[in-house]
Structure 1
Amino acid sequence: MIWAISDIHGMYEKLLKLIRKIPENDKIIFLGDYIDRGPESKQVLDLLFKLKNRAIFLKGNHEDMMIDYIEKRGIYAEGVWFRNGAAYTLKSFENNIENKYMDFIKSLNLYHIEKINGQKYLFVHGGVKYGVKLEEQSERDLLWIRNDFYMQNERYEDYIVIHGHTPTFYITGEYDVYFHKDENNNIISIDIDTGCVYGGKLTAFGIGENYRIIYE
Protein backbone atom coordinates (compact mmCIF):
# COMPACT_ATOMS: atom_id res chain seq x y z
CA MET A 1 0.00 0.00 0.00
CA ILE A 2 1.10 3.56 -0.73
CA TRP A 3 0.39 6.23 1.87
CA ALA A 4 0.09 10.00 1.61
CA ILE A 5 0.63 12.44 4.49
CA SER A 6 0.34 16.22 4.28
CA ASP A 7 0.47 19.41 6.35
CA ILE A 8 2.41 18.21 9.38
CA HIS A 9 3.29 21.77 10.43
CA GLY A 10 5.81 20.96 13.12
CA MET A 11 3.59 18.47 14.94
CA TYR A 12 6.32 15.94 15.61
CA GLU A 13 4.57 13.74 18.18
CA LYS A 14 1.54 13.26 15.96
CA LEU A 15 3.77 12.35 13.02
CA LEU A 16 5.82 9.90 15.04
CA LYS A 17 2.71 8.11 16.31
CA LEU A 18 1.21 8.04 12.82
CA ILE A 19 4.35 6.60 11.21
CA ARG A 20 4.39 3.80 13.78
CA LYS A 21 0.94 2.73 12.55
CA ILE A 22 2.10 2.29 8.95
CA PRO A 23 3.69 -1.05 7.94
CA GLU A 24 7.46 -0.69 7.70
CA ASN A 25 7.71 -1.81 4.07
CA ASP A 26 4.99 0.51 2.79
CA LYS A 27 5.88 3.56 0.72
CA ILE A 28 4.97 7.04 1.98
CA ILE A 29 4.47 10.17 -0.12
CA PHE A 30 4.69 13.39 1.87
CA LEU A 31 2.85 16.34 0.33
CA GLY A 32 4.63 19.24 1.99
CA ASP A 33 4.14 21.80 4.75
CA TYR A 34 6.44 20.09 7.20
CA ILE A 35 7.25 23.33 8.99
CA ASP A 36 5.68 26.44 10.61
CA ARG A 37 2.80 26.98 13.05
CA GLY A 38 3.59 23.93 15.21
CA PRO A 39 6.46 23.80 17.75
CA GLU A 40 8.83 21.14 16.36
CA SER A 41 9.67 21.74 12.72
CA LYS A 42 13.29 20.68 13.12
CA GLN A 43 12.29 17.41 14.79
CA VAL A 44 9.82 16.73 11.98
CA LEU A 45 12.55 17.18 9.35
CA ASP A 46 14.94 15.00 11.34
CA LEU A 47 12.32 12.24 11.35
CA LEU A 48 11.76 12.61 7.62
CA PHE A 49 15.49 12.17 7.03
CA LYS A 50 15.24 8.77 8.69
CA LEU A 51 12.48 7.76 6.25
CA LYS A 52 14.32 8.63 3.03
CA ASN A 53 14.69 5.02 1.89
CA ARG A 54 10.91 4.50 1.83
CA ALA A 55 9.50 7.94 1.10
CA ILE A 56 8.99 10.64 -1.53
CA PHE A 57 8.94 14.24 -0.37
CA LEU A 58 7.11 17.09 -2.11
CA LYS A 59 7.26 20.81 -1.49
CA GLY A 60 4.54 22.80 0.24
CA ASN A 61 3.91 26.53 0.15
CA HIS A 62 5.44 26.92 3.63
CA GLU A 63 8.73 25.44 2.47
CA ASP A 64 8.61 27.82 -0.47
CA MET A 65 8.12 30.82 1.81
CA MET A 66 11.03 29.68 3.96
CA ILE A 67 13.41 29.39 0.99
CA ASP A 68 12.27 32.77 -0.30
CA TYR A 69 12.92 34.49 3.03
CA ILE A 70 16.28 32.90 3.82
CA GLU A 71 17.69 33.26 0.31
CA LYS A 72 16.14 36.72 -0.18
CA ARG A 73 14.59 35.79 -3.51
CA GLY A 74 11.87 38.43 -3.22
CA ILE A 75 9.01 36.27 -4.50
CA TYR A 76 6.81 36.96 -1.48
CA ALA A 77 6.08 40.29 0.17
CA GLU A 78 8.03 41.20 3.27
CA GLY A 79 6.70 39.51 6.39
CA VAL A 80 4.58 36.90 4.62
CA TRP A 81 6.48 33.93 6.06
CA PHE A 82 6.27 35.35 9.58
CA ARG A 83 2.53 35.86 9.27
CA ASN A 84 2.34 32.14 8.50
CA GLY A 85 4.18 30.69 11.47
CA ALA A 86 7.87 31.24 10.73
CA ALA A 87 8.70 32.19 14.31
CA TYR A 88 7.87 28.67 15.52
CA THR A 89 10.17 27.17 12.90
CA LEU A 90 13.10 29.46 13.74
CA LYS A 91 12.63 28.76 17.45
CA SER A 92 12.80 25.00 16.85
CA PHE A 93 16.11 25.52 15.03
CA GLU A 94 17.36 27.97 17.66
CA ASN A 95 17.70 30.47 14.77
CA ASN A 96 20.30 28.31 13.05
CA ILE A 97 18.98 26.37 10.06
CA GLU A 98 21.87 24.21 8.87
CA ASN A 99 22.66 23.72 5.20
CA LYS A 100 21.48 20.12 5.17
CA TYR A 101 17.94 21.28 5.95
CA MET A 102 18.01 23.98 3.29
CA ASP A 103 19.46 21.54 0.74
CA PHE A 104 16.66 19.09 1.51
CA ILE A 105 13.95 21.70 1.16
CA LYS A 106 15.39 23.07 -2.08
CA SER A 107 15.49 19.52 -3.51
CA LEU A 108 11.75 18.91 -3.06
CA ASN A 109 9.68 18.15 -6.14
CA LEU A 110 6.34 19.78 -6.88
CA TYR A 111 4.35 16.67 -7.79
CA HIS A 112 4.53 12.90 -8.11
CA ILE A 113 2.56 10.38 -10.17
CA GLU A 114 1.69 6.78 -9.27
CA LYS A 115 -0.44 4.28 -11.16
CA ILE A 116 -2.20 1.99 -8.70
CA ASN A 117 -4.57 -0.77 -9.81
CA GLY A 118 -4.95 0.87 -13.20
CA GLN A 119 -5.78 4.33 -11.86
CA LYS A 120 -3.38 7.27 -12.15
CA TYR A 121 -2.92 9.37 -9.04
CA LEU A 122 -1.35 12.82 -8.98
CA PHE A 123 0.15 13.79 -5.64
CA VAL A 124 0.64 17.52 -5.11
CA HIS A 125 0.48 19.99 -2.25
CA GLY A 126 -2.18 22.47 -3.34
CA GLY A 127 -3.86 21.24 -6.50
CA VAL A 128 -3.74 21.96 -10.22
CA LYS A 129 -4.99 24.62 -12.60
CA TYR A 130 -7.45 23.15 -15.10
CA GLY A 131 -6.77 23.70 -18.77
CA VAL A 132 -3.01 23.72 -18.21
CA LYS A 133 -0.84 20.69 -19.00
CA LEU A 134 0.89 19.20 -15.98
CA GLU A 135 4.39 20.03 -17.19
CA GLU A 136 3.29 23.64 -17.79
CA GLN A 137 1.69 24.21 -14.37
CA SER A 138 3.11 27.17 -12.46
CA GLU A 139 4.84 26.49 -9.18
CA ARG A 140 2.52 28.95 -7.46
CA ASP A 141 -0.61 27.08 -8.59
CA LEU A 142 0.76 23.68 -7.57
CA LEU A 143 1.57 25.06 -4.11
CA TRP A 144 -1.20 27.59 -3.46
CA ILE A 145 -4.29 27.00 -5.61
CA ARG A 146 -7.60 26.59 -3.79
CA ASN A 147 -10.91 27.96 -5.08
CA ASP A 148 -10.19 27.59 -8.80
CA PHE A 149 -9.33 23.95 -8.16
CA TYR A 150 -12.38 23.19 -6.03
CA MET A 151 -14.81 24.78 -8.48
CA GLN A 152 -14.18 22.00 -11.00
CA ASN A 153 -16.63 19.14 -11.43
CA GLU A 154 -14.58 16.73 -13.52
CA ARG A 155 -11.23 14.99 -13.30
CA TYR A 156 -8.04 16.75 -14.23
CA GLU A 157 -7.01 14.76 -17.30
CA ASP A 158 -7.25 11.12 -16.10
CA TYR A 159 -5.88 11.62 -12.60
CA ILE A 160 -7.33 11.44 -9.14
CA VAL A 161 -5.54 14.28 -7.36
CA ILE A 162 -4.32 13.65 -3.81
CA HIS A 163 -3.52 16.91 -2.04
CA GLY A 164 -3.42 18.89 1.19
CA HIS A 165 -3.06 22.66 1.73
CA THR A 166 -6.73 23.43 2.35
CA PRO A 167 -7.91 22.19 5.77
CA THR A 168 -10.98 20.06 5.18
CA PHE A 169 -12.79 21.89 8.00
CA TYR A 170 -13.14 24.90 5.70
CA ILE A 171 -14.97 22.76 3.15
CA THR A 172 -17.12 20.43 5.23
CA GLY A 173 -16.96 21.79 8.78
CA GLU A 174 -15.19 18.62 9.94
CA TYR A 175 -11.56 17.50 10.17
CA ASP A 176 -11.99 14.37 8.03
CA VAL A 177 -10.63 13.37 4.64
CA TYR A 178 -12.70 15.02 1.91
CA PHE A 179 -13.59 13.13 -1.26
CA HIS A 180 -14.49 15.61 -4.01
CA LYS A 181 -16.77 13.88 -6.51
CA ASP A 182 -18.38 14.69 -9.85
CA GLU A 183 -22.09 14.52 -10.60
CA ASN A 184 -21.76 10.79 -11.32
CA ASN A 185 -20.19 10.15 -7.91
CA ASN A 186 -16.72 9.56 -9.36
CA ILE A 187 -13.84 10.79 -7.23
CA ILE A 188 -12.08 13.84 -8.69
CA SER A 189 -9.70 14.63 -5.85
CA ILE A 190 -9.02 13.74 -2.22
CA ASP A 191 -8.05 16.38 0.35
CA ILE A 192 -6.06 14.91 3.25
CA ASP A 193 -5.27 18.10 5.20
CA THR A 194 -7.28 17.37 8.32
CA GLY A 195 -5.92 20.32 10.28
CA CYS A 196 -3.58 18.72 12.79
CA VAL A 197 -2.06 22.06 13.82
CA TYR A 198 -5.50 23.62 14.30
CA GLY A 199 -6.77 21.04 16.76
CA GLY A 200 -7.74 18.53 14.10
CA LYS A 201 -5.96 15.33 13.09
CA LEU A 202 -2.92 14.21 11.13
CA THR A 203 -3.91 11.77 8.40
CA ALA A 204 -2.22 8.92 6.56
CA PHE A 205 -4.26 8.09 3.46
CA GLY A 206 -3.56 4.62 2.09
CA ILE A 207 -4.10 3.50 -1.51
CA GLY A 208 -4.04 -0.16 -2.48
CA GLU A 209 -6.82 -2.50 -3.53
CA ASN A 210 -9.01 -0.13 -1.54
CA TYR A 211 -8.59 3.05 0.48
CA ARG A 212 -7.57 3.12 4.10
CA ILE A 213 -7.41 6.10 6.46
CA ILE A 214 -5.40 6.35 9.66
CA TYR A 215 -5.84 9.37 11.92
CA GLU A 216 -3.64 10.55 14.76
Structure 2
Amino acid sequence: MYEKLLKLINKIPENDKIIFLGDYIDRGPDSKLVLDLLFKIKKRAIFLKGNHEDMMIDYIEQRGKYAEGVWFRNGASTTLKSFNNNIGEKYIKFIKSLKLYHIEQVNEQKYLFVHGGIRYGINLTNQNEKDLLWIRDEFYMKKKRYENYIIIHGHTPTFYITGEYEIYFHKNENNEIISIDIDTGCVYGGKLSALGIDKNNNYKIISV
Protein backbone atom coordinates (compact mmCIF):
# COMPACT_ATOMS: atom_id res chain seq x y z
CA MET A 1 0.00 0.00 0.00
CA TYR A 2 2.63 2.44 -1.21
CA GLU A 3 0.53 5.60 -1.41
CA LYS A 4 -0.73 5.26 2.15
CA LEU A 5 2.71 4.39 3.47
CA LEU A 6 4.25 7.46 1.84
CA LYS A 7 1.50 9.65 3.24
CA LEU A 8 1.98 8.18 6.72
CA ILE A 9 5.76 8.61 6.70
CA ASN A 10 5.36 12.22 5.65
CA LYS A 11 3.34 12.81 8.83
CA ILE A 12 6.13 11.53 11.09
CA PRO A 13 8.72 14.08 12.27
CA GLU A 14 11.97 13.74 10.32
CA ASN A 15 14.15 13.11 13.37
CA ASP A 16 11.98 10.29 14.73
CA LYS A 17 13.16 6.71 14.57
CA ILE A 18 10.65 4.47 12.77
CA ILE A 19 10.28 0.80 13.69
CA PHE A 20 8.48 -1.21 11.03
CA LEU A 21 6.75 -4.42 12.07
CA GLY A 22 6.84 -6.38 8.82
CA ASP A 23 4.46 -7.34 6.00
CA TYR A 24 5.86 -5.03 3.35
CA ILE A 25 4.70 -7.32 0.53
CA ASP A 26 1.59 -9.16 -0.72
CA ARG A 27 -2.09 -8.25 -1.04
CA GLY A 28 -1.50 -4.56 -1.76
CA PRO A 29 -0.58 -3.65 -5.38
CA ASP A 30 2.84 -2.04 -4.89
CA SER A 31 5.21 -4.33 -2.99
CA LYS A 32 8.24 -3.24 -5.02
CA LEU A 33 7.52 0.47 -4.50
CA VAL A 34 7.11 -0.13 -0.77
CA LEU A 35 10.50 -1.83 -0.53
CA ASP A 36 12.11 0.91 -2.62
CA LEU A 37 10.71 3.47 -0.18
CA LEU A 38 12.12 1.54 2.77
CA PHE A 39 15.57 1.60 1.18
CA LYS A 40 15.36 5.39 0.97
CA ILE A 41 14.67 5.84 4.69
CA LYS A 42 16.80 3.01 6.09
CA LYS A 43 19.09 5.37 8.02
CA ARG A 44 16.24 6.35 10.33
CA ALA A 45 14.48 3.00 10.52
CA ILE A 46 14.52 -0.49 11.97
CA PHE A 47 12.87 -3.19 9.91
CA LEU A 48 11.34 -6.37 11.34
CA LYS A 49 10.25 -9.48 9.50
CA GLY A 50 6.59 -10.34 8.96
CA ASN A 51 5.08 -13.70 8.13
CA HIS A 52 4.60 -12.63 4.50
CA GLU A 53 8.32 -12.01 4.03
CA ASP A 54 9.00 -15.39 5.59
CA MET A 55 6.65 -17.10 3.16
CA MET A 56 8.30 -15.35 0.22
CA ILE A 57 11.83 -16.41 1.13
CA ASP A 58 10.65 -19.95 1.82
CA TYR A 59 9.13 -20.10 -1.67
CA ILE A 60 12.07 -18.51 -3.51
CA GLU A 61 14.71 -20.63 -1.79
CA GLN A 62 12.54 -23.77 -1.69
CA ARG A 63 13.18 -24.32 1.99
CA GLY A 64 10.01 -26.36 2.50
CA LYS A 65 8.94 -24.65 5.70
CA TYR A 66 5.46 -23.97 4.31
CA ALA A 67 3.17 -26.22 2.34
CA GLU A 68 3.03 -25.80 -1.41
CA GLY A 69 0.83 -22.87 -2.46
CA VAL A 70 0.68 -21.17 0.96
CA TRP A 71 2.39 -18.00 -0.20
CA PHE A 72 0.10 -17.76 -3.23
CA ARG A 73 -2.96 -18.08 -1.03
CA ASN A 74 -1.65 -15.09 0.92
CA GLY A 75 -1.00 -12.60 -1.86
CA ALA A 76 2.12 -13.75 -3.73
CA SER A 77 0.61 -12.98 -7.14
CA THR A 78 0.33 -9.25 -6.44
CA THR A 79 3.92 -9.16 -5.21
CA LEU A 80 5.29 -10.97 -8.25
CA LYS A 81 3.27 -8.72 -10.54
CA SER A 82 4.77 -5.60 -8.95
CA PHE A 83 8.24 -7.00 -9.75
CA ASN A 84 7.29 -8.16 -13.25
CA ASN A 85 7.96 -11.69 -11.99
CA ASN A 86 11.62 -10.91 -11.29
CA ILE A 87 12.47 -10.13 -7.67
CA GLY A 88 15.99 -8.74 -7.69
CA GLU A 89 18.77 -10.02 -5.47
CA LYS A 90 18.97 -6.81 -3.42
CA TYR A 91 15.34 -7.26 -2.34
CA ILE A 92 15.89 -10.88 -1.38
CA LYS A 93 19.02 -9.94 0.56
CA PHE A 94 17.13 -7.21 2.40
CA ILE A 95 14.26 -9.48 3.37
CA LYS A 96 16.65 -12.20 4.57
CA SER A 97 18.36 -9.61 6.80
CA LEU A 98 15.18 -8.63 8.69
CA LYS A 99 15.16 -8.97 12.48
CA LEU A 100 12.50 -10.95 14.33
CA TYR A 101 12.16 -8.49 17.21
CA HIS A 102 13.54 -5.25 18.60
CA ILE A 103 13.73 -3.78 22.11
CA GLU A 104 13.60 -0.11 23.08
CA GLN A 105 13.61 1.36 26.58
CA VAL A 106 12.05 4.73 27.33
CA ASN A 107 12.92 5.78 30.87
CA GLU A 108 11.97 2.75 32.96
CA GLN A 109 9.58 1.22 30.44
CA LYS A 110 10.77 -1.51 28.07
CA TYR A 111 9.05 -2.07 24.72
CA LEU A 112 9.25 -5.25 22.69
CA PHE A 113 8.48 -4.78 19.00
CA VAL A 114 7.55 -7.93 17.08
CA HIS A 115 5.35 -8.82 14.13
CA GLY A 116 2.95 -11.36 15.59
CA GLY A 117 3.46 -11.62 19.34
CA ILE A 118 5.13 -13.95 21.83
CA ARG A 119 4.37 -17.19 23.61
CA TYR A 120 4.13 -16.74 27.37
CA GLY A 121 6.30 -18.84 29.66
CA ILE A 122 9.22 -18.93 27.23
CA ASN A 123 12.31 -16.71 27.46
CA LEU A 124 12.64 -14.23 24.62
CA THR A 125 15.83 -15.75 23.23
CA ASN A 126 14.13 -19.17 23.11
CA GLN A 127 10.96 -18.05 21.35
CA ASN A 128 9.97 -20.04 18.29
CA GLU A 129 10.26 -18.04 15.06
CA LYS A 130 6.83 -19.25 13.98
CA ASP A 131 5.25 -17.79 17.12
CA LEU A 132 7.00 -14.44 16.70
CA LEU A 133 5.61 -14.22 13.16
CA TRP A 134 2.24 -15.98 13.36
CA ILE A 135 0.87 -16.28 16.91
CA ARG A 136 -2.62 -14.90 17.57
CA ASP A 137 -5.19 -16.39 19.96
CA GLU A 138 -2.72 -17.89 22.43
CA PHE A 139 -1.11 -14.47 22.76
CA TYR A 140 -4.36 -12.52 23.26
CA MET A 141 -5.77 -14.89 25.83
CA LYS A 142 -3.19 -13.75 28.38
CA LYS A 143 -3.93 -10.81 30.67
CA LYS A 144 -0.49 -10.21 32.13
CA ARG A 145 2.78 -8.53 31.26
CA TYR A 146 5.47 -10.49 29.48
CA GLU A 147 8.73 -9.96 31.42
CA ASN A 148 7.88 -6.29 32.11
CA TYR A 149 7.65 -5.43 28.42
CA ILE A 150 4.86 -3.64 26.64
CA ILE A 151 4.59 -5.54 23.38
CA ILE A 152 3.92 -3.58 20.20
CA HIS A 153 2.89 -5.74 17.26
CA GLY A 154 0.88 -6.06 14.07
CA HIS A 155 -0.20 -9.21 12.17
CA THR A 156 -3.72 -9.42 13.63
CA PRO A 157 -6.08 -6.75 12.26
CA THR A 158 -7.68 -5.01 15.22
CA PHE A 159 -11.10 -5.63 13.67
CA TYR A 160 -10.53 -9.31 14.51
CA ILE A 161 -10.42 -8.38 18.21
CA THR A 162 -12.67 -5.37 18.68
CA GLY A 163 -14.76 -5.03 15.53
CA GLU A 164 -13.07 -1.70 14.74
CA TYR A 165 -10.04 -0.67 12.72
CA GLU A 166 -8.42 1.32 15.52
CA ILE A 167 -5.14 0.78 17.36
CA TYR A 168 -5.93 -1.59 20.23
CA PHE A 169 -4.47 -1.13 23.71
CA HIS A 170 -4.68 -4.51 25.42
CA LYS A 171 -4.85 -4.11 29.20
CA ASN A 172 -4.71 -6.37 32.24
CA GLU A 173 -7.12 -6.46 35.16
CA ASN A 174 -5.33 -3.48 36.73
CA ASN A 175 -5.92 -1.40 33.59
CA GLU A 176 -2.21 -1.48 32.72
CA ILE A 177 -1.26 -1.73 29.05
CA ILE A 178 0.35 -5.08 28.28
CA SER A 179 0.39 -4.95 24.48
CA ILE A 180 -0.56 -2.63 21.62
CA ASP A 181 -1.83 -3.88 18.26
CA ILE A 182 -1.23 -1.36 15.48
CA ASP A 183 -2.55 -3.40 12.52
CA THR A 184 -5.59 -1.36 11.57
CA GLY A 185 -6.43 -3.39 8.47
CA CYS A 186 -5.11 -1.25 5.64
CA VAL A 187 -5.46 -3.94 2.97
CA TYR A 188 -9.00 -4.76 4.19
CA GLY A 189 -10.40 -1.26 3.84
CA GLY A 190 -9.10 0.02 7.16
CA LYS A 191 -6.26 2.41 7.88
CA LEU A 192 -2.48 2.35 7.96
CA SER A 193 -1.33 3.43 11.41
CA ALA A 194 1.75 4.42 13.37
CA LEU A 195 2.14 4.71 17.12
CA GLY A 196 4.40 7.48 18.41
CA ILE A 197 6.09 7.17 21.81
CA ASP A 198 7.64 10.28 23.32
CA LYS A 199 10.35 10.52 25.98
CA ASN A 200 7.70 10.50 28.73
CA ASN A 201 5.97 7.36 27.40
CA ASN A 202 3.02 9.31 26.05
CA TYR A 203 1.41 7.89 22.94
CA LYS A 204 0.34 9.57 19.73
CA ILE A 205 -1.58 7.78 16.99
CA ILE A 206 -1.17 8.69 13.33
CA SER A 207 -3.44 7.01 10.79
CA VAL A 208 -4.10 7.53 7.10
Band of TM-score, shorter chain: over 0.9
1:195 is aligned to 2:185: yes
Please give the alpha-carbon distance, in whole angstroms, between the structure 2 residues aligned to 1:127 and 1:32: 12
The two structures have a TM-score, normalised by structure 2, of: 0.98
Identity across matched positions, percent: 79
Please give the alpha-carbon distance, in whole angstroms, between the structure 2 residues aligned to 1:207 and 1:69: 36
2:132 alignment counterpart: 142
Match of 2:49 among 34, 41, 59: 59
Code of the residue aligned with 2:203 in structure 1: it is: Y
- Structural mapping, 1:86-105, within 5 Å: 86-105=76-95
Structure with larger RCO (C-alpha < 8 A, sep 6+):
1
Please give the alpha-carbon distance, in whole angstroms, between the structure 2 residues aligned to 1:185 and 1:90: 44
Q: How far did residue 117 of structure 1 move?
A: 2.4
Please give the alpha-carbon distance, in whole angstroms, between the structure 2 residues aligned to 1:146 and 1:13: 28
1:179 is aligned to 2:176: no
For residues 64-112 of structure 1, the C-alpha deviation after alignment (integer angstroms, 9 at most, x for no partner) is: 0000000000000000000000000000000000000000000000000
**Secondary structure in 2 matching 1:193:** coil
Q: How far did residue 177 of structure 1 move?
A: 0.3
1:122 is aligned to 2:131: no
Match of 1:112 among 78, 102, 107: 102
Q: Which runs of 4+ in 1 moved over 4 A?
A: none
Please give the alpha-carbon distance, in whole angstroms, between the structure 2 residues aligned to 1:144 and 1:204: 20
The two structures have a TM-score, normalised by structure 1, of: 0.95
Match of 2:62 among 63, 72, 88: 72
Structure 1: give runs of 5+ residues left out of the alignment.
1-10
Code of the residue aligned with 2:79 in structure 1: it is: T
Structure 2: give runs of 5+ residues left out of the alignment.
none
1:6 alignment counterpart: none
1:131 alignment counterpart: 121
- Report the RMSD for the aligned CA atoms in angstroms: 0.4
Q: How far did residue 118 of structure 1 move?
A: 1.4
